[in-house]
Structure 1
Amino acid sequence: MFVSYKWLQEYVDLSGVTASELADKITKSGIEVEGVEILNEGMKGLVVGHVLEREQHPNADKLNKCLVDVGEGEPVQIICGAPNVDKGQHVIVAKVGAVLPGNFKIKKAKLRGEESNGMICSLQELGVESKLVAKEFSEGIFVFPNEATVGDDALELLNRDDQILELGLTPNRADCLSMLGVAYEVAAILGKEVKLPKPEVSSISEKASEYISVTVDAPEDNPLYVAKVIKNVKVGPSPLWMQTRLMAAGVRPHNNVVDITNYILMEYGQPLHAFDYDRLGSKEIVVRRAHQGETITTLDDAKRTLTTDHLVITNGNEPVALAGVMGGANSEVETTTTTVLLESAYFVGAPIRKASKDHGLRSEASARYEKGVDPNRVRAAAERAAELLALYANGEVLEGSVEADALKVEPAVVSITLDKINGVLGTEISMDEVKNIFARLQFTTKVEGNEITVTVPTRRGDITIEEDLVEEVGRIYGYDYIPKTLPKGASTPGNLSDYQKKRRIVRRYLESAGLFQAVTYSLTNEGKASQFALDKREPVKLAMPMSEDRSVLRLSILPQLLEVVKYNSARQNDSIALYETGAVFLSTEQDKLPEEKEHLAAAITGLWYQHPWQGEKKAVDYYVLKGVLEGLLARLGLTGRVEFRQATVEGMHPGRTADLLLDKERIGFVGQIHPNVQKELDLKDTYVFELSLKALLEAEIAPLQYESIPRYPSITRDIALVVNKEVVAGQLSDIIAKAGGSLLKEVSVFDLYEGDRMEEGKKSIAFSLRYFDPEKTLTDEEVTKAHEKVLDALKDQAGAVLRG
């Protein structure tokens, strides 16, 4: 809600309180003021000028040479490129030496050989947003009404000498979606009175009931409908002061009839709608639910198909407005309109919200109906609008109003004890102070002993229970004056669980390894939900999804992580390394909440490192990601307990994928994305892993033990083994480790050969074995004895022989 400081002064005496001070007081009372905009900040030297002469620039087709009276004796010549500038106009002139927004200084200049002593301005050049400028001035300069006085301060006439408070309202404070609502709030804060408008409508002898009848077939949606008729209206521009107030409130001016309805909307918070009576097509208004498939063309020229959930205003036959949201094009007020049917109604929020959401029409009116308007302002707003239509559209107001009234609204009555107020706030406020606070809020009170009963006005629909009254007392009393106390009772210092500590270790390790953390959606579509899933189950579907692409809960993190890689690759980020820790959702029994398990996934592609000066580049491959994983397992104390075993996983490369087994239980996989999947996603070679983080972090590990630095040398033996091609290195490594006994400390692969000199169906794998005894220096005989056991085991269990 944008609140004009100057406009607010009409309702509350703000003398002695600046706009910034008022903003601070409002914020401290519970409504956040998000900012204060000074409309004329940094501007000076702008006056009203009168264009005496206009002729075509002799050297430019799109420029005009104007002689302008700026109230300083001799008129000045100004070159102007606006298409709508003309002789006789009163315009905004920035004189030489003037300053416009952005510290733009006006100087004497020559444009195509002609001298220009100033600038004729548009509203946009004064900092007004284009969407708030009336259409007739949207592509040119602004023209004042003829009554403007030459030489007067243009900023003052345009109400740019104002300050705008932007209120960040929570949904419960719909009462402050109007100037009067804000006035009540400010008056309570400052302890001042509210000066309400007092409409004085002079009506003619004709009665409104002779022109229109009102029937409401859906009183549960529209308990009160008020119609007034105004004849002999002359449609034209609204007064300048009204236009500028509307612009300050974020509303674009149109014409006097529409502007008056918008003005009342901002002043009272009560939406109104003006129909062209002669285009209505009948002498009756019927409010009902729409028929299924019925259509209406709204003011934005869009044809909309309605359902029985939507409330419409009709002429007895066809819809003329989508109630509370937008009027119909068939009854729109035009320049030729002479008789206006004015609608002021109380609509229930639910059907208005439904229509607004279904048709994507979010209007100032619908926003207020959704949150709730004051039912006791419906008639007052109609009278105020009729008064303004008579004043500024030369209208003649017909006697009386035509109503359909089934509204039964009683103000809320809430009782509370003084002890409870002080107990919750921790204060010692007296009953007199509490009464005074409610009096400032203009709540009626009745005191009986220690209990106060408050009758809440209908404008404050957010107050229904005792706690609401406590809040009102606290915020008006002043949160700054509530005593500060330390918490009572024993306190326990916060700490991380073992699981949380290990999760932090995982994240820090992966980031130190060069991976960036990603956070992706837990919602996906049915096609991607089961891709790469470690645990294949039926995906959990949402009852009310936002879209088909976000309709089920994920079973794997990788599909969304690959979308992130795809997104970055398409934007020329070729080398990408990402990881994510997040939940996957596994369905359980029917109508039961899914089981959540935390997973860890990563994806890398492109170059792992490069040294341009040395010309070195290292592309990522399976072993890079496997090395990252092995480092993580070592960091978690799980080295030796996790086995990498060749595997086939759907969507993964058949020869470059391995399962991870923790204590013989599968916890995940690592490998390259299948070439077909890479092509589908338009990716280069991409390597990924996904594993159960829950299984990793909950695995029990032995206490950390330290070993002394070796005092005795080790002995290394290298062997090259010839085996069948289907034998994997991991199998040979396990045989070597078991057969080597206590002296064998390390086994590592360092070569693989499958060349022409190798027998068909065979391959050579080379291992390096390190033997060591911490108690003594090993002899060749001891190492040979252990080594021969290894060779015998390899021959017996894998058919391996030493390569000649």
Structure 2
Amino acid sequence: MLVSWNLLKDFITLSAGPEEAAERLTMAGAEVEGLEYKARNLRGVVASRILSLTPHPAKEKLLVARLSTGRGESVCVTNAENVRAGDRVFYAPPGSTLPDGTELGIRDFYGLESAGMMLSAAELGVPEADDSDGILILPEDAPVGTEARALYGLSDTILDVSVTPNRGDLLSIWGIARELRGLFPDAKLNAPRCLEGQASGNDRDWPDAQRFGAISLPDPGCFCYHLGLAAGVAMGPSPLAVRVALVHMGMRPISNIVDATNYVMLVLGQPLHAFDLNTLPAREITVRAAGDGERMTTLDGRERVLTERDMLITSGGEPIAIAGVMGGDRTEIRGDTRAVVLESASFSPLRVGHTARRLGIASEAAFRFARTVDPTLSARALSLALELMRDWSGAEIGYRVRSASNDFPKPKPVTLTKKKLQTYLDWGDMDASTSILEGFGIRGGDGTDEARTFVPPTWRPDITIEEDLIEEVGRFRGYNDAPGRLPGEPPRGGDRGEPMRLSALVRSCLVARGYVEAVTYSFLPEDFPQKLLLPEDDLRAYPLTLANPISQDQIAMRTTLVPGLLGGLRTSAASGWRGAVRLFEQGRVFLRTAPGASTHVEHDAVAGLVFDGTDPRTPWKGQGEDFYSVKADVAALLEGCGLTPRFAAERQPFGHGGQTAEIRAAAPDGNVRSLGWLARLKPVLEQELGLGGGAVVLFELRLSGIEELRGNCRPVLRPASAFPASLRDISMLAPADRTQDEAASDIRAAAHAAAGWDILDELRLFDVYEGKGIPEGFRSLAFSLSYRAPDRTLNDEEVERVHGMVRDTLVQKGYNMR
């Protein structure tokens, strides 16, 4: 919110300057991000009157202007075509300085000296304040000889206030004035006349030519709706001082009618909208919910597709505006407008905010309505705007305001207790607190010295609980001035809990493997399941959607951590990174219990992404990351958690065929369960990332599954055997659909059955072969077996007996020994 200090001084008498006010606002929670001093360098420029204009004797398109500066006469040369004798302009004589620091002197124009120059709005630092391409023409009553710095608000200080979402009341000059009144007890508010008593100008019936029907509000999202009439409008520019103020506060002047609505919005915080009465489809207004798929064209010329959650202003059943967001192009104010109906309404913040974000319309009105506008302000703001239209366009006003209303939230009493005040602020003066709260417009204070009840004003819907009142007191007293105090000793030591310990263990394991932790948003675009090729039978394809999203790109809750990691990779590549990328993230995912179900489950997960890079300068050619290197990382992670990793072939919608696996794990007690998946990204998806080649490998594990497997099962520690191992090999043909983990499990079971105890100390797969010489449907697996006893050296006869029994058992299970 850009705040003009010149305008602010009209609403509050304050002894402090802009710098002190900015500091106080910032320390109280309304951060002033910067101060901009308009026309700070402007010196010596004065209002002057053109006495005569004559052609340049040597150059056809140039004019010689003789001016009265109030301090004598001056002559300058100009090529402006919009000036006439008698006009009043800003003149910069030799020695003067423009806002951009340019110093004026005397120049020669084809043999004629030009002393200084007449100035345009752009040269004065306010280009939008004048739509002509020439010199800025001043009002006829401009005081000749007066310095420009003192006129029309050219010299001003602009405060850039960062307003938090819960303080919509600060999005106006009047709101900032009220805040400063609370922060500076000696300040005095100068309330606009429209805010004193009842709104005026509503005593006459509308003329027959502008006769208007009913206003109906079938949608409860419209709290109240007021409609005023300004007849006999003469379109034109608004006063120069108003145009300058609008430019300084970030708005473009358009016309006296539109500028009146924008000026009132900036001053009071109430958005308004003006319709050309003669272009309304019918003489009635209805505020209703849009139909699903209904369309209308807004003021920016774009066709908008609406949903039933959007609100429409309609006339004769036809949409003329999106409520609280933007008007339609059909009824906009034009140069030939003569009768204006002015809307001043209050809408549901949730409804307006949802519509504005979904449609991507960042209008000033939507920005305010989404943060709550005081519903009691609308009638008074309408009165002020009509008065400005009368003063600026000669409009005839004073007609009865047509109104309709629904129920809207009203402030509820809040109790402040001395006990909580003392607990939070280490200060318990209830009388002083009452005075502070009244300074912020929070009335009441009835009660005892231990507890008092207050009623928040209508413009502060954010005050609903006792802590809100304490915050107001703390803001006034200053958090930086609160005494420091050490907390008391806790009764017992804290415990991180198993989820926190597991999270720390996972993090340390992955960091040790060279991964970098990423933190991404839990919110994603609604189409992310389609981008990941998730099918309809996959619960991950049905994300929960937010009722009040931050933006259209953050509307759906994530069902997997993959999109966030892929987004991080895309961002890194777009910023120029070409080396290897190893990312991981721990976070929560949200899954519906069934497609379309309103219920859902949440679980914590860890996911990783590895990209081997495309940097041509790396010396390690042919040693890039691949599916198997990431598989080793996953195995190391599970082993670090005390589990035995297992992998089985699987399919993922976004996974490369043949390079996708299910991740399983076995606990020390033998319990095995599925924990997640490991996959190389499909090449078509890799290409969409624009990485220029290179494999992208991902994995995702459920942390709850790891935690449950770990449970109370802890690794059994035993001393290493001092006796040597006996080594044997087994080579066999196994059915192609039987995994190596299943084969290894069969070998271990056979060895245990043969010896009656765990004689097999180590089992390692060292060769896999499919192809020539191997029957179809089979593959060759070769294992190295290490037999060892903990208390003695095994003899060859014993080892051969056990090994032979193992081979016989495997034959019985369908393996062909080689």
Classify 1:538/1:455 alpha carbon distance in 2 versus 1 (closer, same or farther; 3 Å). Answer: closer
Distance 1:295 1:532 in 2: 31
Structure 2 match to 1:693: 703
Structure 2 CA distance, aligned partners of 1:627 and 1:356? 48
**1:47-446 aligned within 5 A:** 47=45, 90=89, 133-134=128-129, 136=131, 143-145=136-138, 157=151, 159=153, 161-191=155-185, 192-198=187-193, 209-210=206-207, 212-218=210-216, 221=222, 223=224, 225=226, 227-231=228-232, 233-276=233-276, 286=285, 289=288, 298-301=298-301, 310=311, 312=313, 314=315, 325-327=325-327, 329-338=329-338, 340-344=340-344, 363-369=363-369, 373-374=373-374, 377-393=377-393, 395=394, 397-399=396-398, 401-404=400-403, 414=413, 419=418, 426-429=426-429, 431=431, 433-434=432-433, 436-437=435-436, 440-441=439-440
Query: Amino acid of the residue matched to residue 188 of structure 1?
Result: G
State the alpha-carbon separation in 2 of the partners of residues 544 and 255 from structure 1.
Answer: 39
CA displacement at 1:239 relative to structure 2 = 1.9
The answer (yes or no) to whether the contact 1:517–1:580 under 8 Å persists in 2 is yes
Counterpart Cα distance in 1 of 2:108 and 2:795: 99
Cα separation, partners in 2 of 1:317 and 1:616, compared to 1, 3 Å: closer
Aligned to 2:23: 24
2:246 partner SS: helix
Query: Post-superposition shift, 1:243?
Result: 1.2
Q: What is the DSSP-based 3-state SS (H/G/I as helix, E as strand, rest coil) of the residue aligned with 2:622?
A: strand
Query: What CA distance in whole angstroms lies between the structure 2 residues aligned with 1:755 and 1:412?
Result: 80
- Secondary structure of the residue aligned to 1:22 is helix
Cα drift, residue 656 of structure 1 = 7.5
Change (3 A) 1:109 1:466: same
Q: How far apart, in 2, do the equivalents of 1:540 and 1:410 lie?
A: 34
How far apart are the structure 1 equivalents of 2:441 and 2:651? 75
Q: 1:599 to 1:441 in 2, by over 3 A?
A: closer
Work out whether residues 288 and 311 of structure 1, in 8 Å CA contact, stay in contact via their aligned partners in 2: yes
Aligned counterparts of 1:369 and 1:687: Cα–Cα separation in 2: 46
Moved more, 663-672 or 2-11: 663-672
Instruction: Quote how far apart the aligned CAs of 1:242 are.
Output: 0.9
Tell me how far 1:328 sits from its aligned partner.
Answer: 5.1
Q: CA RMSD in A?
A: 6.0
Residue 645 (structure 2) aligned to one of 638, 642, 646: 642
The amino acid across from 2:161 in the alignment is L
- Which of 780, 804, 807 aligns to 1:792? It is 804
Q: Is contact 1:606-1:684 (8 Å) kept?
A: yes
- State the SS of the aligned residue for 1:23: helix
Shift of 1:22: 0.9
Report the count of equivalent residues: 770
User: Kindly tell me: are residues 558 and 164 of structure 1, through their superposed partners in 2, closer, same or farther at Cα, counting changes over 3 Å?
Assistant: closer
Q: Is the 8 A contact 2:3 2:159 kept in 1?
A: yes
1:255 maps to a residue whose letter is S
| Structure 2 residue identity aligned to 1:235 | M
Aligned residues of 1:164 and 1:248 also touching (Cα < 8 A): yes
CA distance in 1, matches of 2:143, 2:153: 15
Q: CA distance change for structure 1 residues 666 and 409 in 2, over 3 Å: closer, same or farther?
A: closer
- Residues 746 and 86 from structure 1, CA distance in 2 versus in 1: closer, same or farther, beyond 3 angstroms? farther
CA contact (8 A) 1:217 1:287 kept: yes
Q: Secondary structure at the match of 2:3?
A: strand
Displacement of 1:783 in angstroms is 6.7
Matched letter for residue 19 of structure 1: P
1:263-291 CA deviation, whole Å, 9 max, x = no partner? 22222333444455566698x65556589
Describe the superposition over 1:334-389 as per-residue Cα deviations: whole angstroms up to 9, x where unpaired.
Answer: 33445555555566767766876786655434554555545655554444344434
- Counterparts in 2 of 1:633-782, with a 5 A limit? 633-638=638-643, 641-644=644-647, 651=655, 653-654=657-658, 657=661, 660-662=664-666, 663=670, 665-668=672-675, 673=680, 685-697=695-707, 698-699=709-710, 700-702=712-714, 705=717, 707=719, 721=731, 731=743, 735=747, 748=764
Partner of 1:427, secondary structure, is: coil
CA separation of 1:298/1:612 partners in 2, compared to 1, >3 Å: closer, same or farther?
closer
Q: Which amino acid aligns with 1:25?
A: R
User: Quick one: distance in 1 between partners of 2:615 and 2:403?
Assistant: 77
Contact 1:207 1:398 in 2 (8 A): no
Q: 1:307 to 1:766 in 2, by over 3 A?
A: closer
Are the counterparts in 2 of residues 719 and 802 from structure 1 also a CA contact under 8 Å?
A: no
CA distance, structure 2, for counterparts of residue 589 and residue 255 of structure 1 = 55
Letter of the aligned partner of 1:594 in structure 2?
H
Structure 1 residue 508: deviation in Å? 2.5
In structure 2, how many angstroms separate the alpha carbons of the residues matched to 1:345 and 1:562? 44
Deviations 1:307-340 (A, max 9, x none): 99745364x7977666655555555443344555
Q: Which residue of 2 aligns with 1:542?
A: 544
After the TM superposition, which of the residue ranges 468-477 and 249-258 deviates more from structure 2?
468-477
Q: 1:629 aligns with which of 625, 634, 658?
A: 634
Shift of 1:618: 0.7
Which whole-Å deviations, capped at 9, do the CAs of 1:425-463 have from their partners, x for residues lacking one?
5534253x4554455446665867657676765555555
> Which stretches in structure 2 are left out of the alignment for 5+ residues?
none
* Secondary structure in structure 2 of the residue aligned to 1:39: strand
Q: Using the TM superposition, give the Cα deviation of residue 513 of structure 1 relative to its aligned residue in structure 2, in angstroms.
A: 1.8
Q: Quote the Cα distance in structure 1 between the aligned partners of 2:640 and 2:335.
A: 78
CA contact (8 A) 1:540 1:594 kept: no
Deviation readout 1:7-26 (Å, 9 max, x if unpaired)? 111121223x1222112222
Partner letter of residue 168 of structure 1?
Answer: S
Counterpart of 2:392 in structure 1: which amino acid?
Y
Query: Percent identity among equivalent residues?
Result: 27
Question: Does the Cα contact within 8 Å between 1:214 and 1:286 map onto a contact in 2?
Answer: no
Inter-partner Cα distance in structure 2 for 1:549 and 1:475: 35
The alpha-carbon distance between structure 1 residues 340 and 789, as it changes in their structure 2 partners (threshold 3 A), is same
Report SS of the residue matched to 2:31: strand
1:514 maps to 514
Residues 2 and 250 in structure 1, CA contact (< 8 A), matched pair in contact too: yes
Pick closer, same or farther for the CA change 1:631–1:84 going to 2, 3 Å.
farther
Is the contact made by 1:215 and 1:404 (CA closer than 8 Å) also made in structure 2?
no
TM-score by length of 1: 0.73
Partner of 2:31: 33
| Of 522-531 and 576-585, the range deviating more from structure 2 | 522-531
Residue ranges of structure 1 left out of the alignment (5+ in a row): 59-63
| 1:263 aligned partner, one-letter code | Y
Change (3 A) 1:299 1:725: closer
Aligned-partner Cα distance in 2 for 1:439–1:552: 43
| CA gap 1:695/1:87 in 2 versus in 1, 3 angstroms | same
SS at match of 2:10: coil
CA shift for structure 1 position 253: 0.9
Structure-2 residue corresponding to 1:604: 610
Tell me if structure 1 keeps the 8 A contact 2:172–2:266: yes
Shift of the 252–420 alpha-carbon distance from structure 1 to 2, 3 Å rule, reads farther
Task: Report the residue type matching 1:181 in the other structure.
Answer: G
The CA deviation string for residues 222-243 of structure 1, in whole angstroms up to 9 with x for no partner, is 6563524454x44322222111
**Mapping of 1:538-577 within 5 angstroms?**
542=544, 557=561, 573=578, 575-577=580-582
The Cα of 1:33 is off from its aligned counterpart by: 2.1
Q: Greater shift after overlay, 650-659 or 6-15?
A: 650-659
User: Helix, strand or coil: the match of 2:177?
Assistant: helix
